[in-house]
A and B are shown apart, each in its own frame.
Chain A
Amino acid sequence: MNDEIIYRVENVKTYFPVKNTKLFDREKRFVRAVDGVSLEIKRGEIVGIVGESGCGKSTLGRTMLRLLEPTEGKLEFEGQDITHLSRKYMRPYRRDIQIMFQDPYASLDPRMTVGNIIAEPMDRMKTWKTKEERLKRIVELMEVCGINKAFINRYPHEFSGGQRQRIGIARALSVNPKFIVCDEPVSALDVSIQSQIINLMIELREKFDLTMMFISHDLGVVEYISDRVAIMYLGRIVEIAKTEEVFKNPHHPYTKALLESIPQIGEKDLVKKDLLEGDIPSPINPPSGCTFHTRCPYAQEICSKECPQMRDLNENHKVACHLF
């Protein structure tokens, strides 16, 4: 891993307009799914994005792929500003940035054969010249991802969840991407299958020199796979640091609470732990100041008034909290 930054996200906001339900209500409301995120991803690293549902982690991933248009902010891939590129000029970057989806049942077209699914990005980008070349590449990808190449003409419904996720990986890899956004790639799988897929991802990362953004709500998986971890809450990153730092020395009260809540094998102390109260507030009407102050056990007066800025604790550890 070197220090070259492959992807830079600067103060990105992605808002979704909300339909007004009242007749004379003219006020425009938005779901602030991503609300000012800045992130730098270095070449070759795996950055984990963790948060509870509705915190904007998937929206961030999709915005970075420009599957969603950011409302504000800047996206920079390999030094090039891609925020406002037209479809045509965006196309070469689509090759470099790929995605892996969560649901292996919904993300594969049931009417396409496995071979065609894997080759779809290649067909779109026209990366092959002859049919033989295309076939060779498909077989190669199937072998790399551990799918029996005899299954090339089968349909997705004939495969189990783990196998389907392998097909999804092969598809993402088919155009030799540099950066892959993995959106909850193992959440729908059983533990024993999950470990197969995680091992495969790590293996492929080394083999193809990939950079990954790994979005998950499963802290155990993220701890295992990521080099750095960012914790998101209500559309903002509240803490980002090296993985060991986050798990051994968490600073933000939300990170601490999140780590506390994970059930641990062999520890029967859920009843004693300090748990967070309440639910995540609505992202349409987020709380003022620090969005976590409504659930934070250490909240002070300033927290409800001012939004804390990201501060450097040390070179690799940033936190957005008034207490630090």
Chain B
Amino acid sequence: MSALFQFLLRQGDNTLVLGHRVSEWCGAAPALEEDIALANTALDLIGQTQMWLGYAAEIEEAGRTADDLAFLRDAYDFRNLLLLETPNRNFGHTLLRQFLFDAYQVPLLASLESSTDQRIADIATKAGKEAQYHLERSQDTVIALGDGTEQSHTIMQDALNRLWSYTGEMFESDIVDEAMTANGIAPDPTSLRDVWNTTVDAALKLADLKAPEDNFAHKGGKNGRRHTEHLSHMLSTMQVLQRSYPGASW
């Protein structure tokens, strides 16, 4: 597997897995307005997935399409961050997970806009505007719920305690990242940590939430070594149609 192909899978799998998770709220969100907003976010992410995985399939040159990559790979072939496959649990948890990712994705995409790979720069330019809006929205909601009622505060603090150990993986750099950095294709993930910290610290302060002291980080998503058990369950729902009726289309 080429480093560029792996890098593109990571981007596409991040948006695919989070996009599917967010789409699970469709018809079930606590208010009509939030329902539509979450569906919009999910659709943005799936649209970005088409671009990332579409390019990945071209680079692979194995005759596969973006759809093949999305619907016919198993959990161990996925390269998404573990954070994004964690279950939705509740609305606050979902929005906090979204915020922790958005705060990472916005500076990443901003940096990718000047990638030496023009195709990646173009994808990042389009996706960047969507990510900025996602961040504005998730950040406001996290602050409102964290600094809301006693009940909403408790739910948000619990979500932060659960999710914190999944944030470290975003800033792990490995051999794929080194190859991308060397060619000017993508930034070193470790370089995104400071700006992420600034965004997240400011929001958590306003939300009256405290990040756990422990900086243990779960790893194994972006390199595919060890996904959580949640990903297979999610894929079994997401992929059931193509698995049951191969090639079905409408």
Q: Do A and B come from one complex?
A: no
Where the two chains meet, the residues of B that have a C-beta atom closer than 8 Å to any C-beta of A are: none
Where the two chains meet, the residues of A that have a C-beta atom closer than 8 Å to any C-beta of B are: none
